[in-house]
Amino acid sequence: MQWNLEQMRLFVSVAEGQSFSAVGRQMQRAQSAVSSAIAQLEDDLGVLLFARSSGRQPRLTDAGAALLEEAREVLRQCQRLDGRALGLARGEEVRLRLAQDEAMPYQPVLDSLEALAQQFPLLEVQLASGAQGDVARKLLEHRADLGLLFHHEHMPDALERQRLGTIEMVTVCGSGHALAGMGHADRRELARHRQLLMAPQDSHYPGGEQISPSIWRADSFYAMAELLMRNLGWAWLPRHVVQYPTYQGQLVELSSDWTPPPLVVELVCRRDEAHGPAALWLAECFAKHLQAIG
C-alpha cells in the first residue's frame, strides 16, 4: 500500500508537538486510528518516524526530522494544485484587490496600474495601502488577492512570495542638521546624534539596528522623512523616499562606513489561491518598472 495525503497530514500534525490523542480529537478520529495511520506510513516509507515511549509525547526520530519538511512541502504543493485548479475554472479575474506597503515606490506602482488598465480594460481594481503587517493580514483574511511588501523572515506559512527586485537604503539627515556639512559620518559620529528608527522594534525592515543611545521611532518612512526635514535626527531611508519631490533640497545623503542591506520587494499571495492572468501580468510589469528605477 502507498502512503496517502491523510497520513501525511497526520504525520505533520503530530510532529508539530501534538499527541496522537490531541490530533485525533482535532480531526475527529480515534487515537488508535491516528496511531495506525502513522504506523502504516512508516511501513510504506520504510523508516521509523517517531520514537514512542510510555507516558510521553511522540518524539521525532532522525529520519522523521529529515522527512518533516518534505512532508510539509507535499501539503503545500497540494494547496497550490487546488488553487491553480480553482483559478483555471474561474478564468480571467473580474476583480483584482492589491494591497501594498505604504512605503512602496509609487512610480512603478502607478506605471504598472496604468499599463494594467490598457491590457485588461474590464478589470475592476481595488488598491489599499498600509503597514507591512496590514498587507499580510488583508491577504490572510481574504480581503486582498495580491500584496506588495518588503521581505521579512516571519511571513505566515499560508502566504507564498515571489521576489521582484530591491531598493537601496541610504543614510540621510536634514539639510540643516549638524551632520549635513560633514559628507561622511562613521558609526561613532552617527552615535552622537539622535537616530530615527521604524516602529515597532520588530518591524523586520532592514535598518533596524540601533546605533545611537538617543532614538525616536515612527511607523512610516515618510513620517521619518518629515522629522528629518526638521533636523530632528538622522535615519536610514529607502532611496525612492529620499527622492520624493517634496523632499528635494530638504534632505542630505551621507556616506557612511555601514548602510543596511537593500529592501527586497516581494509579491505575496495566499498559497491556496492561484494567480489569474491579470495578476501574473501585473507582477511581471511591476518587476520591470522596479528594475528601471534601480
Q: Does domain 5-88 have CATH number 3.40.50.300?
A: no
Mean pLDDT of all residues in 237-248: 90
Among the ranges given (195-204, 227-236, 264-273), the one the predictor scored with the smallest mean pLDDT: 195-204
Residue 257 DSSP one-character state: S
For residue range 131-143, what is the model confidence (pLDDT) as tens digits? Answer: 767 888 999 999 9
Domains 91-165+263-293 and 169-254 share a fold: yes
Report the alpha-carbon distance of residue 206 to residue 262 in Å, rounded.
7
Spans of all domains in the chain: 5-88, 91-165+263-293, 169-254
Average per-residue pLDDT in the chain? 86
CATH number for the segment(s) 91-165+263-293: 3.40.190.10
For residue range 43-89, what is the model confidence (pLDDT) as tens digits? Answer: 888 889 888 776 567 888 888 888 999 999 988 888 878 876 775 67
| Whole-number pLDDT of residue 6 | 87
The model's pTM? 0.66
For the cut 60, the answer to whether the pLDDT of residue 201 exceeds it is: no
Report the alpha-carbon distance of residue 286 to residue 162 in Å, rounded.
12
For the cut 70, the answer to whether the pLDDT of residue 125 exceeds it is: yes
Could you tell me which of 186, 218, 190 has the C-alpha nearest to residue 205?
A: 218
Q: Which phi and psi (to 5°) does residue 23 adopt?
A: -65, -40
For the cut 80, the answer to whether the pLDDT of residue 187 exceeds it is: yes
The pLDDT > 90 percentage for the chain reads 32
pLDDT confidence of 294, banded at 50, 70, 90?
Answer: low
Q: 276 with 90: CB under 8 angstroms?
A: yes
CATH number for the segment(s) 169-254: 3.40.190.290
